[in-house]
Amino acid sequence: MKLWQKISLLSVCVLLAVMIVSSVMLLTYARDSILSLNIEQAHSRQSSLISSFTEMAKYYLNEDDSPVVKASGVKYCFERFADETSVLMRDGEILYSSIIFDPSEFLPPVFIDDLLSAGDSQVILTEISDRNILIGGSSVIVLGDRYNVYTVKDITGVYNDIAKLTWRFVAISTVSIIVGAVLIVLLVRGATKPLMTLKKTTRRIAVGEYGQRVDIRTSDEAGELAKDFNDMAEAVQSHIDQLNETAQRQQEFIGGLTHELKTPMASMVLHTDTLLTADLTSAEARNSLIHLHEQCLWMERLSQKLLKLITLEQDLQLNPERIKGLFDDVQDSMAETLSERNTPLIVDCEIDTITIDYDLMKSLLINLIDNASKASTPGQDISLRAHNNSIEVSDQGSGIPPEDISRVTDAFYMVDRSRAKTGSGSGLGLALVKRIADAHRAELIIDSEPLVGTTVRVVFNENSIC
């Protein structure tokens, strides 16, 4: 059972209990008040009848009168003040009665002479022939004789009115309970609606939609809970973003390192094959070993610097480096690859020294030259040039569509998807180039036109040129 249903059920039960208790108390009070009013009226009528009757009898009659005169006079005096509810009896004999019942059959023994002293008055409620009867009785002494005076009133109508009032009250209470129950359900459902919103948002976050937030603009406990939940979600998303960013950097580092190792590894494989299969002079073998040693050292330095650059995001230590020596090193590293593809490299260096990280800049240029060579057809030249405050690599190859230029520096993005299928590309080259350029606080500019060629320019800060 849902929370709003539980609260609604409990509230309706409380409402039902309160209404029943209140109704019973009110009906009991109303019944008692009505009966008390009728009893008071009976007492008042009884007292008035006795007072008037006895005063008149004492005024007109004497104790010396004969019994017949007394009996006639008493009856006459009583008739003057009696109504349809009055009864006068003496020694069990009915002297006067206007009621429809025989008084001798139903007047209870409690009103018999020996139980009533002069001046006493009692009132009882009884049921006679399915009728509710109110009986008031008093014993009076008139001229030395004792008389019993009764007021007998049929109050069946009063009981019927009480019954009607009860049923009317039950009907009103039932309607009130139904209306109250409906209002309780609607109000509780509305009051708990923020919790339902919170529940839905929680489920969406649980399935990975971490950007979801609860939009509850109230100042009550639900609003405070929503604010705390949003703060918690922000903290969780922040931690998840950090984990994703760390995982992304690690992935980029692994992919970048794998990508960067291809060129030196290809050169190393070529030299080791030469050492194993060719009959080299000692000088030639020594040169091959020196080249292998240099490539290993470069791979070690490059892996450490890529780790700092991509995963740890540490600042690089930049030093003034001679560009001519850098170009010669790059040309030597790419010689075998460019020879196999028949894409000659033309070098033009007009800058003496730039403040750079040598190994990372070497990696940047190798990536650009490798991409240019892949985009070119055999026989087309590739240009490596340093002038003013920039270094650029140009080709006359297939070019890059205008809509792709803004995305080619995204990790794993490839303009030509067929290269990924053939295993000749991973989409990390230009992403690493962009990283390295940013680390040097240099601007990477790509100008390209399909079927005309591409020029990638690394523009350095004026302060970087020595």
* pLDDT, tens digit (0-9, with 9 covering 90-100), for 4-14: 788 888 989 99
Whichever domain contains 33, its CATH number is 3.30.450
Token couple for 47: 């007292």
Domain boundary among 149, 177, 205: 177
Token couple for 228: 């705390």
403 lies in some domain: yes
Say how far apart CA 76 and CA 95 lie, in whole Å. 10
**pLDDT tens sequence across 239-291:** 777 767 656 655 555 555 555 566 667 677 777 887 888 777 888 888 888 87
pLDDT band at 423 (very low <50, low <70, confident <90, very high): very low
Domain boundary among 177, 198, 229: 177
**What is the span of the domain harbouring residue 8?**
3-177
Whichever domain contains 442, its CATH number is 3.30.565.10
**pLDDT tens sequence across 159-185:** 899 899 889 988 998 999 999 999 998
201 lies in some domain: no
217 lies in some domain: no
348 lies in some domain: yes
**CB-CB contact of 97 with 103 (8 Å):** yes
How many residues are there in the chain? 466
Which is higher by pLDDT, 421 or 371?
371
113 lies in some domain: yes
pLDDT band at 309 (very low <50, low <70, confident <90, very high): low
Q: What is the mean pLDDT of the chain?
A: 81
DSSP SS3 for 235 = helix
CA within 13 Å, CB half, 19? 19
Pairing of strands 145-154, 131-142: antiparallel
Q: Which pTM value belongs to this model?
A: 0.45
Percent of the chain residues topping a pLDDT of 90: 20
Pairing of strands 453-459, 443-449: antiparallel
282 lies in some domain: no
164 lies in some domain: yes
Domain boundary among 148, 177, 206: 177
Name residue 384's amino acid: L
Token couple for 171: 């009907």
Output the pLDDT for position 120.
60
Write the DSSP symbol of residue 465: B
Please report the beta strands in 31-105, taking only residues with DSSP state E, as ranges in sequence order: 86-90, 93-97
Neighbours of 403 (CB within 10 A): 8
DSSP SS3 for 425 = coil
Q: How many domains does the chain have?
A: 2
Nearest CA to 313 out of 240, 364, 236, 250 is that of 250
101: phi then psi, degrees, rounded to nearest 5: -100, 165
**pLDDT tens sequence across 207-216:** 877 777 777 6
Say how far apart CA 290 and CA 268 lie, in whole Å. 11
213 lies in some domain: no
